[in-house]
Structure 1
Amino acid sequence: MATTQQKAAPKKKSEGFTGVRGAFWVIVVCAIVAFTLFYTWFNNPMHFQDGAARENPADVWGTIFKGGVVVPVIHTLLLSVLAMSIERWMALKTAFGKGSLPKFVANIKAALNANDLAKANQLCDQQKGSVANVVKASLNAYKDMETGANANLKKAQKVAKIQQAHEEATQLEMPVLTMNLPILATMVTLGTLTGLLGTVTGMIKSFSALSAGGG
């Protein structure tokens, strides 16, 4: 039997901002910033009534410092979530393209209704972004089915090849759209759990202080 080899999908070309691939280093930088602030600004004696003794906070910064080492951990997660959220916003903004998506889709439909593939391709080139890339891949596959080497195929085969081109183009775009989302979700969960840990730790310290004071 003759075996058919599936053609490997081409790699996606970078267009504009496609996301930060070194998320680990983003977290490291956020941790450095958080711990530096904790042990310099929050730890400053001016935030305590007794100065260098650091027992009685004089303002909110001193109170935050009294929360212990769990505070910079929470701040690390907070800064990381903010940084990764901005990164995702920038990447998705690039993926959306330059113009309005509803307007782009309406223009594509109008061009296809007029059977003007050249106009549709031009609209994709102007729009750019993930949606435009997927639409253009489907248009190129359709054009190849009509005028290219595959013009003699049956209708069902043509539809299957166009769908395959559409799916391959979608798979090329998905990594840009989903990059760092699992990391972001994990940090959000860890932030909540770390906050609860801080609450439990604070309650333990409070009851220990009451017990030591005979209350």
Structure 2
Amino acid sequence: MHDLILASGSPRRRDILKNMGLSFVVEPADIDESVLEGESPEAYVSRMARSKAEHCAKLHPDAVVLGADTVVVLGSTIFGKPKDRADAAAMIGALSGRTHVVLTAVAVCAKGELKQILERTEVTFARLDPELIETYVASGESDDKSGSYALQGIAAMLIEKVSGSVSSVVGLPACQTRELLAQVGLYPRTVKA
């Protein structure tokens, strides 16, 4: 028996939940992830997390379902996953020497009830020369990441400062997610070393 369903295919979210000692199955939600006209980044990321959780909860009404979404925001521009490496280089170039916001929304559906949080973390990139950006993008690490970088990977050397939840930037704010799951009666069984 599993504690919950993770309505996301993100390996980083999977790792964070494993480290929390939770038993779960992965069932990525197939939803439209288009940004609605005039939708704020906060509303968008919250809607995505909620839609993922609700989609899987309809298929498994007796389960606890967790949906999450993360976006990188510079000004009012949402940086999702890059279309290709040129797009990744453009994103990293735009983030260079600037502070941006990473928004991660988490939604939990249990027994017909929805609980949701939104975590905001500020990340400041160092000034990066074009050669370093090109080298980073060529590593392939940026290929499937919101904002084209992985804080927990090679990109750590590009980042000067993080204000807020580091695990939220990776894909799931661990402390806040633990608190949210506790509200529906799920608690970590073990702490993984």
- TM-score for both structures, normalised by structure 1: 0.22
Q: Say which one has the larger Rg.
A: 1
More helix, by proportion: 1
More strand, by proportion: 2
- TM-score for both structures, normalised by structure 2: 0.24
